[in-house]
Amino acid sequence: MAVIIDGKRIAQQIKTELKEEILKLKEAGIVPGLAAVLVGNNPASALYVNMKQKACNKLGIYSEKITKPDDYPEAELLNLIDSLNKRDDIHGILIQSPLPEHIDEGKAILRVDPRKDVDGFHPINQGLMLAGRPMFLPATPSGIVELLWRSGNKPAGKHVVILGRGYLVGRPLAVLLALKNQKGNATVTLCHTGTPDIYKIARQADILVAAMGKAKYVTKEMVKPGAVVVDVGTNKIPDPNHPKGERLVGDVDFEEVKEIAGAITPVPGGVGPMTIAMLLSNTVKATKQGL
């Protein structure tokens, strides 16, 4: 039976450490500030922004939520980002994804000042990450690295197999885990839809990361006995027994895989809390870098 890796507990550790840093900043008359821009009426996006705002408030970070309608013009969004770039009380800017189809998400990301890009998506921050000299790391990949490190599942010398090559998780995580430092130094295999015999490769992993967005895709046949399994997926599936008629599951068949894995992250309560913790960490870092 696998050990459950408690993302909530580890995220709380990070928040406790951040609270001390925030208190020191406040003693110097500085309050970290995060602006979250939400365009459109995507319920999941609204939920994520509210969760981030609530976490900010608990830590003493100033949080400003800016909501705009679905038909908000791209030019006006770019102007809004420009105004946030200029504000001294805003140290981090978050453009909630996905944006409506008429807005070029790449343009919006490029418009954010890299020094305020707490999501770590700006090409400058992506380039610095590749060079091994990061300013801001993407929240979910860096959260996974921190989760592995703090739970005692250090990736150095291990074979990590990542299922999913997405821009938000798979690709940046592969870079971070392969970097020559104490929290990386792994041998990384990045699998995707074009990978032949993906089951065979997955079964070779000492650490298996599922990030392809397919509910319960990873079964026990894909997991080496004793492997560490990190589930990044958040998928809603019908469930007549649930009050809402649906429930949240990951990309891993949790009940099946926990019988064979050495350690596993749950959904919810695994990677999700770490993503928010790392976003807050980046906001504090941005504040300190701006001094």
Compute CA distances 229 → 106, 149, 214, whole Å. Answer: 32, 14, 15
Choose the catalytic residue: 15, 116, 119, 253: 119
Distances from the Cα of 49 to the Cα of 89, 112, 119, 167, 171, angstroms = 19, 18, 13, 20, 24
Determine which helix (DSSP H) or strand (DSSP E) holds 231, and give its type and residue range. Answer: strand 228-231
Residue with tokens 């992250």: 265
Cα end-to-end span (Å), the chain:
49
Question: Which residue from 177, 213, 172, 210 is spatially nearest to 191, judged by alpha carbons?
Answer: 210
Instruction: Give yes or no for a contact between 37 and 77, defined as CB atoms under 8 angstroms apart.
Output: yes
Active site residue 52: yes
Q: Is 12 a catalytic residue?
A: no
Residue 206 annotated as catalytic: no
Give the catalytic positions in this structure: 52, 96, 119
